[in-house]
Amino acid sequence: MTVATALDKILILDFGSQYTQLIARRIREHSVYCEIHPFNYTLEQIKEFNPRGIILSGGPSSVYDRDAPQCSKELFELNIPILGICYGMQFMSNCLGGKVEYSSKREYGRAHIEIVKGNSLFDGIETEKLPVWMSHGDKVCSIPDGFRLAARTDNCDYAAVYNPEKKFYGVQFHPEVVHTHEGMKILGNFIFKVSECNPNWSMRSFIETKTEEIRELVGNKNVICGLSGGVDSSVASVLIHRAIGDQLKCIFVNNGLLRANEADQVQKVFRDNYHIDLIYVNAEERFLNALAGITDPEQKRKIIGREFIKVFEEEASKIENAEFLAQGTLYPDVIESVSFKGPSATIKSHHNVGGLPEKMNLKLLEPFRELFKDEVRLVGKELEMPEEIINRHPFPGPGLGIRVLGEITRERLEILRKADTIAIEEIKKAGLYNDIWQAFTVLLPVKSVGVMGDERTYENTAALRMVESVDGMTADWAKVPYELLGIISNRIINEVSGINRVVYDISSKPPGTIEWE
């Protein structure tokens, strides 16, 4: 990963905590750049990264486990401030001569720490009793030489410790989670007061740095980008076009499974507004013919993916002097594929172009592999992109192909588009669109009896799905007003021929998924 060397950076070494990504998010929110790397990141790599501070994450292991993750003890000789969180604190204490033992009273959930004044980590925190979030079975029972007590709980003598000379800090709780009061201030104190970072990470600086990087990398070659109309590919296209202009060639495939008017909107925005060289491929018939009679969701996905690659490859092969394929890979995707258990062989493929780089002998260009989703939206804002693009809800790669349950036909797709358009219109009118992570309509292969006027009907059922989430990994159903659901249902039943019943999905993820297929 390449970032400007002038940036002040924090390095996070991942020991397997479920909260590691959250640590990175919190640091970025302080306008400081950080990266997550596995615990076995080498000393040479750490020196090359040149961090102002290092954070050791939590993890599920005990320091005494045979396979417990461990980094080199020479880490503590680099003269770099270190913050150990949970397992990170235990690992640091154990390495430096302290003792860790199994706790007879394990702490999971809310606890209150009693702060001992006099250390930088708790600067600016007025209360002496602070609610925090604990998650540990082991605890430090004896601290290394040079360390002092910073906080305790009734169950944990050393809830926080520090070595002022070495600038080493350890906390048994998780400052990165919202349940820990003043957690952002604690992390901010480590970042700014202990590690002495400057808040010089912003989307504006990212754009300037990345623009120059892309120009230098690409030279006089062409870049191919599969434009879907979604947030990631849209913002990536505008950023790359800003860097290299007409050397960017975007391919937009209409697979017949897009939302209402999407094909026209994408062409209008990117051709007319941004003057991007956009190749539009109308492959509706091809996809619908391939999907005819198919009802199994996994088969649908495979057919849609296979046909997309074929169409994309046919069009891309016509572009001369192409050396790069642009993808909207995000930082969570990178983290998932390089876990604390050690680097995996490959980054997983994204955006329906899996296998194409190797097959077509193209190099990958992934301008957002350092960013989280919300940061990509901020890049879009800095680039003055339309709100309706950068705040758009996530849309699955197979499109409406997995929201029309059962057989996909042109007629059923049109019914779904009309219903979905009404739902989104009313959500926006109610001012709730940006508060909901994802909202959409599903057409079910279920018919039921209804009465419209003096006639009995036997029509389709539509399901509304609205969820609240931070990253899509977990989600809960959105508690929208009953009045809004009533308006949406009433409009769909009255205005969409073919639907006579509307239901609302109140499943969470897990155990359900956000999409139905």
Residues marked as catalytic: 86, 174, 176
What is d(CA 283, CA 300) in angstroms, rounded to the nearest whole number? 16
Q: Sign of the CA dihedral 271, 276, 277, 280?
A: negative
Cis amide bond preceding 510, omega within 30 = yes
- Provide Rg for the chain, Cα atoms: 26
Rounded to whole angstroms, the Cα distance separating 209 from 192 reads 23
Q: Which residues pair with residue 151 across a beta bridge? A: 115, 160
Q: How far apart are CA 91 and CA 71, in angstroms?
A: 9
Non-local (6+) Cβ contacts of 261 within 8 A are: none
Cβ-based neighbour number of residue 207 at 10 Å: 18
Residue with tokens 């292991």: 61
For 467, the 3-state DSSP assignment is strand
Beta 277-282 vs 342-343: how paired, if at all? unpaired
Distance CA 486, CA 342 (A): 51
CA distance 255 to 253: 6
Q: Which H/E stretch holds residue 22?
A: helix 20-29
**Per-residue DSSP letters for 185-207?**
HHHHIIIIIIS-------HHHHH
In this structure, which amino acid lies at residue 86? C
